Structure 1
Amino acid sequence: MKAFSQLIGVVALLGLSSGSSAADVSARARQVHDAALVLDTHLDTPANFRRPGWSIADDHQHEGDLSQVDLPRMKAGGLDGGFWVVYTAQGARDEAGKQAARDHGLERLTSIREMLAAHADEFELALTADDAERIAAAGKRIAFISMENAAPLASDPTLLTAYHRLGLRMLGITHVRNNDFGDSSTDPKGAEWNGLSPAGKRLVAEANRMGIVLDASHASDAVFDQLLELSTAPIVLSHTSADAIHDHPRNIDDERIRRLAAKGGVIHVNAFGAYLIPTPRIPARVQAMEALSKKYGPEGRMPADRVPAYLAERRAIEARYPVKRASLEDYMAHLLHILKVAGPEHVGIGADWDGGGGVVGLEDVSALPLITERLLQAGYGEQDIRNIWGGNLLRVLRRVQEAAVVSEAESS
């Protein structure tokens, strides 16, 4: 009995619970959800594509937050698709570092294209809003491609042309550190460029010319301001939450949300727990997790037969150094606040799946109908919900691509 009580205590400290599941939603919520084109703007799932033995076609629910998106769970949660991310960690900015970033980005892009080729009966590359609607109508899953952190372009910004030809339709400027194109919101060294660098401003112009949506998530407030000013088309925040609910450098203030909406942009609300609620840093936990990572190697390269042991050791560390986890209630607090500030025509969902996103009660994409249930309970109508899940995003994509066509016509 004592051991059971201790277990319950650990569960409470971790913020874990069996919670709700998508099976708990009402028939009306499920109907509304299934009728919508459900897109997420930030799927970090390509990080798993090179894992030995891992397949997008298999159900990986047993892996917990090691993988949160696969075809069976997309179907269970009614996720029609979204933006699959070419993510590159910010490394050294010398020539060797820039070449490493270039190579990594191209490898990640290749892995996305290989997944699509291997599962052409279930997934299809989308280049336009019309493509997305056509692909969904055919019963397939939609794969747009985005880039998080423009570091792969630092050695040669003209590579953006190649990425565009291979499917890139959204570009995020920075990640957690400053880079050659602009300042990050979280670099401990502070601002380097006071917004965009000269190369960053040129990159913005090129993205506009090609019809690539610009993404200000992770970027500093100054970069956001300059993107809003310089871009000839609306911009987005692909996975960002509200400063008013939790004051964090990665979140955005209400005044900027209003300005984003006024320019026709969309903010897609993040489900990364540390950006939703205060999360203390426990040095002993960090040290233990770093040692675990050294022992097993990168998660994205971990063979399937090593995953159970790795997860068991990781969960033991989490139990030894518990940190309260954000919940579905915390996520909805951010989403509902942003909806009130921006209006339902300028809000979407970008939960950061497979990149640290997911909260108690919303652990993977199979639980997405719960968001629809909560939106209905909050008084939002079916058209609002269709806009939030995909309509607003497709509107921005159309406007960005129309602006590119007009610009090309004017320059010819």
Structure 2
Amino acid sequence: MRLLGFALLPLLLALPASAQQPRDDVSPADRAFHESLTVLDTHLDIPERWDDGSWDFGARHRWEWDRSQIDLPRMEEGGMDGGFFAIYTPQGALTPEGYREARDAALVRATAIRRVLAENRDRIGLALTPDDARRLVREGKRFGFMSMENGWPLGEDLSLLATFHRLGLRLASPVHFRNNQLADSATDSPRWHGLSPLGRQWVAEMNRLGILIDLSHSSDDVFDQVLQLSRAPIILSHSSPRAIFDHPRNLDDARMRRLAAAGGVMFINSVYLAPMDHSPERAAIEDRHRRWATLSEDERQRLLSDEAALDARAPQHEADFDTYMRAMLHAIEVMGADHVGMGCDWDGGGGVIGMRDVTALPRVTAALRRAGIPDADIAKIMGGNLLRVLGQAQAAATGG
């Protein structure tokens, strides 16, 4: 991607505070401590850009340009060691044709993830176990696990889970924004009132293979049922406390406590923390940003100007870095530090004012220290809890 022309610099510098990423709240000691941690995020949607091979994960991009939030240079700048790269499939028809299309799209995405990691093998590697992640960090590299958001691509053939497991899948969720053949969504009217009969088999197969179960996007009934059925701890890879923002995608305090009691972890999302502008005008602005690489310099100038005007009339949302930290600290208070992590939904709608991409992650570590969270607990929150629970799921596996 070519650099911004000088004509764009005044507009970029004049972007609202929502585009800025303060660093003056991170001391040198905080930064040094952050760099000593294994820092990961459980939900990374950047592979949506990888299917056709045109987006360079090894190059430095900017959120202000194309709305991307993670690449290898920014992982390095933010002290981020790795995370789960998602095979995401938006929900479609529950028909044989729909299942085939979803399966093929998911296989393409899994292949793209492996290809991008291989293309950058000197800087990042595919991890299959917690020990793989730790080894790659010792080697001075980043690591990438593979996850699946939405079980629709499995259709009615759960043997496909073993296929994806062989490709590297280590974390999966049953459902997304709409109900499917496995389970009810948190944002749809109940169909199964929890898991379908096939969904119950899905839980057993996930346990058998040692794939970590993720219940973000699942209904409360699904949560309750899986918590009873699963032989291994479960997680929510990108969810937030309902006490901070009352939304069905978030989890109430009582269920948060039950999740902790079962050894699970909730990874705090940076979405669903406040009302958001989902207007057609906002969607059009976001679509133009995603096409940044194809825009002329005049078109880029108009885009930044149009966005500034829209933000002045209708801010995208009011959630800021302090909102995110309130959500995380609430989760720590309710569940304990052993059961909280970070899953911001980067490149899937995540990011808040003051934390627009992964370069801002040292702010989280610094804020936890200012809140009085012990360093040993911060190490768990920033990465240790995920590696622990993934290891437990794999240790409980009976086959695969």
| Fold conserved between structures, TM > 0.5 | yes
Query: What SS does the corresponding residue of 1:42 show, helix, strand or coil?
Result: strand
The aligned residue for residue 253 of structure 1 is 252
Query: What SS does the corresponding residue of 1:174 show, helix, strand or coil?
Result: coil
- Aligned with residue 378 of structure 1, among 364, 371, 376: 371
Q: CA deviation at 1:18?
A: 3.4
Query: What SS does the corresponding residue of 2:338 show, helix, strand or coil?
Result: helix
> Judging changes above 3 Å, is the alpha-carbon distance between structure 1 residues 316 and 235 closer, same or farther for their aligned structure 2 residues?
same
Partners of 1:395 and 1:99 lie apart in 2 by 35
Partners of 1:62 and 1:94 lie apart in 2 by 37
Unaligned runs of 5+ in 2: 1-10
CA contact under 8 A between 1:80 and 1:141: conserved in structure 2? yes
Partners of 2:277 and 2:323 lie apart in 1 by 16
The aligned residue for residue 132 of structure 2 is 131
Question: How do 1:322-341 and structure 2 match up within 5 A?
Answer: 322-341=315-334
Q: Deviations over 1:329-376 (max 9, x none)?
A: 110110000000010011000000010000011110001000000000
Partners of 1:277 and 1:57 lie apart in 2 by 33
The aligned residue for residue 181 of structure 2 is 180
> Judging changes above 3 Å, is the alpha-carbon distance between structure 1 residues 290 and 342 closer, same or farther for their aligned structure 2 residues?
closer
- After TM superposition, the structure 1 stretch with the greater mean CA deviation from structure 2, 336-345 or 51-60, is 51-60
The aligned residue for residue 6 of structure 2 is none
The aligned residue for residue 4 of structure 1 is none
The aligned residue for residue 20 of structure 2 is 18
Query: What SS does the corresponding residue of 1:239 show, helix, strand or coil?
Result: strand
> Judging changes above 3 Å, is the alpha-carbon distance between structure 1 residues 307 and 255 closer, same or farther for their aligned structure 2 residues?
farther
Query: What SS does the corresponding residue of 1:348 show, helix, strand or coil?
Result: strand
CA contact under 8 A between 1:42 and 1:350: conserved in structure 2? yes
Partners of 1:140 and 1:347 lie apart in 2 by 25
Does residue 277 (structure 1) correspond to residue 262 (structure 2)? The answer is no
Partners of 1:50 and 1:137 lie apart in 2 by 30
Partners of 1:76 and 1:98 lie apart in 2 by 40
Partners of 1:245 and 1:80 lie apart in 2 by 28
The aligned residue for residue 208 of structure 1 is 207
Q: Deviations over 1:39-58 (max 9, x none)?
A: 10001111122366421111
The aligned residue for residue 357 of structure 2 is 364
Q: CA deviation at 1:148?
A: 0.4
**Alignment TM-score, normalising by the size of structure 1:** 0.87
Question: How do 1:46-61 and structure 2 match up within 5 A?
Answer: 46-50=47-51, 53-61=54-62
The aligned residue for residue 295 of structure 2 is 306
Query: What SS does the corresponding residue of 2:18 show, helix, strand or coil?
Result: coil
The aligned residue for residue 86 of structure 1 is 87
Q: Number of matched residues?
A: 384
Query: What SS does the corresponding residue of 1:169 show, helix, strand or coil?
Result: strand
Partners of 1:37 and 1:365 lie apart in 2 by 14
CA contact under 8 A between 1:172 and 1:216: conserved in structure 2? yes
Q: CA deviation at 1:107?
A: 1.0
State the Cα RMSD in Å: 2.4
Query: What SS does the corresponding residue of 1:57 show, helix, strand or coil?
Result: coil
Partners of 1:258 and 1:307 lie apart in 2 by 52
Partners of 2:159 and 2:124 lie apart in 1 by 29
Partners of 2:19 and 2:399 lie apart in 1 by 54
> Judging changes above 3 Å, is the alpha-carbon distance between structure 1 residues 333 and 303 closer, same or farther for their aligned structure 2 residues?
closer
CA contact under 8 A between 1:52 and 1:303: conserved in structure 2? no
> Judging changes above 3 Å, is the alpha-carbon distance between structure 1 residues 280 and 68 closer, same or farther for their aligned structure 2 residues?
closer
- Partner amino acid for 1:164? H
- Aligned with residue 394 of structure 2, among 373, 393, 401: 401
> Judging changes above 3 Å, is the alpha-carbon distance between structure 1 residues 98 and 17 closer, same or farther for their aligned structure 2 residues?
closer
Partners of 2:201 and 2:130 lie apart in 1 by 26
> Judging changes above 3 Å, is the alpha-carbon distance between structure 1 residues 150 and 76 closer, same or farther for their aligned structure 2 residues?
same
Query: What SS does the corresponding residue of 1:249 show, helix, strand or coil?
Result: coil
- After TM superposition, the structure 1 stretch with the greater mean CA deviation from structure 2, 355-364 or 317-326, is 317-326
Partners of 1:397 and 1:337 lie apart in 2 by 24
The aligned residue for residue 146 of structure 1 is 147
CA contact under 8 A between 2:240 and 2:251: conserved in structure 1? yes
Q: CA deviation at 1:291?
A: 5.6
> Judging changes above 3 Å, is the alpha-carbon distance between structure 1 residues 258 and 293 closer, same or farther for their aligned structure 2 residues?
closer
Partners of 1:131 and 1:52 lie apart in 2 by 26
- Partner amino acid for 2:390? L
**Alignment TM-score, normalising by the size of structure 2:** 0.90
Unaligned runs of 5+ in 1: 1-6
Partners of 2:76 and 2:396 lie apart in 1 by 34
